[in-house]
């Protein structure tokens, strides 16, 4: 199964193409000004590096939240537009799930933190048990202090929120606090693709016409209309036809 995956939930945008256990291509941009046309260019580049076109993929996956409201809207609308144009199935994945999977380690609590601004973080808690990632606490938006409250066993922190509040976490948790490598603090599109693979295989896919992002809290900017996939975009048409 070949999956095209996109993550636009943080400052760094990522696009990947995977086939079963193999990474065929991955493109990442750390440009905070990345917009929809640049994302389409990244998708085109990743497919080209993989030696494929969109018609040769079996499904499209993406991070549906939490994270940057603008980034999520760009990534989700792009994927929904491609899915509407090609009738490819889609699967949305939590960015916190992806971060946790990238550092999955037995016998330790995993706590991904994504900067939510306003002195808050998006957070969840996980454990890796018998080769499976288990979510102990659902996605929430909390102050960093509340996000780490009650942790009294070794905990591995990852994500840009963990980097931002690392000093506070160390001061409160001491030697119990462990931190991921810098290269593990951003959700990778390839991880998103591999997490989605099982859902594609069992047919547990999302409905493109009823899909909603996971914002957790209300966006700062008012969204003027219900969320719908865009259609008829020339940039989408270019990817589909090429």
Does residue 179 contact residue 158 with C-beta atoms inside 8 Å? yes
Two structure tokens written together for 125: 């808690």
Q: Which CATH number fits domain 2-95+187-234: 3.50.50.60, 3.40.640.10, 3.40.190.10, 3.30.420.40?
A: 3.30.420.40
Contact residues for 209 (Cβ-Cβ < 8 A; gap 6+): 228, 229
* pTM (two decimals): 0.86
Give the range with max mean pLDDT: 22-31, 88-97, 210-219.
88-97
Q: What is the C-alpha to C-alpha distance for residues 13 and 28, in angstroms, rounded to an integer?
A: 6
Q: How confident is the model at residue 32 (pLDDT cuts 50, 70, 90)?
A: low
Query: Which segments of the chain does DSSP mark as H helices, in order?
Result: 36-50, 69-86, 95-102, 144-147, 160-164, 166-173, 189-202, 234-241
Looking at the chain, which residues constitute the CATH 3.30.420.40 domain(s)?
Answer: 2-95+187-234, 96-184
Q: How confident is the model at residue 37 (pLDDT cuts 50, 70, 90)?
A: confident
Tell me the per-residue pLDDT of 173-219, one tens digit each, with 9 for 90 and over: 999 999 999 989 988 999 999 999 999 999 999 999 888 889 887 55
| In the predicted structure, residue 9 carries a pLDDT above the cut 60 | yes
Backbone torsions φ then ψ of 171, nearest 5 degrees: -65, -35
Q: Which residues of 113-122 are buried (b: 16+ CB within 10 A; e: fewer)?
A: bbbbeeebbb
- Supply the CATH classification number for the domain 96-184: 3.30.420.40
Residue at token pair 């995977």: 18
């Amino acid at each position: 199964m070949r999956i095209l995956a996109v993550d636009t939930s943080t400052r760094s945008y990522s696009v990947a193409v995977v086939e079963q256990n193999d990474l065929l291509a991955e493109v990442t941009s750390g440009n905070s000004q990345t917009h929809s046309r640049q994302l389409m260019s990244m998708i085109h580049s990743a497919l080209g590096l993989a030696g494929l076109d969109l018609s040769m993929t079996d499904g499209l996956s993406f991070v549906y939240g939490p994270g940057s409201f603008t980034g999520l809207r760009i990534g989700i609308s792009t994927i929904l537009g491609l899915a509407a144009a090609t009738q490819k199935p889609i699967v949305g994945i939590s960015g916190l799930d992806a971060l946790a999977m990238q550092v999955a380690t037995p016998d330790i609590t995993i706590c991904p933190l994504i900067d939510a601004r306003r002195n808050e973080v998006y957070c969840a808690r996980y454990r890796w048990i018998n080769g499976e990632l288990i979510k102990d606490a659902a996605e929430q938006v909390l102050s960093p202090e509340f996000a780490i409250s009650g942790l009294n066993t070794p905990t591995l922190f990852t994500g840009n929120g963990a980097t931002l509040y690392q000093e506070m976490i160390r001061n409160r948790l001491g030697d119990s606090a462990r931190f991921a490598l810098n290269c593990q603090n951003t959700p990778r599109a390839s991880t998103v693709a591999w997490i989605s693979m099982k859902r594609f295989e069992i047919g547990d896919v999302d409905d493109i016409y009823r899909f909603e992002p996971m914002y957790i809290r209300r966006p700062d900017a008012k969204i003027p209309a219900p969320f719908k996939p865009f259609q008829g975009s020339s940039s989408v048409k270019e990817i589909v036809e090429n």
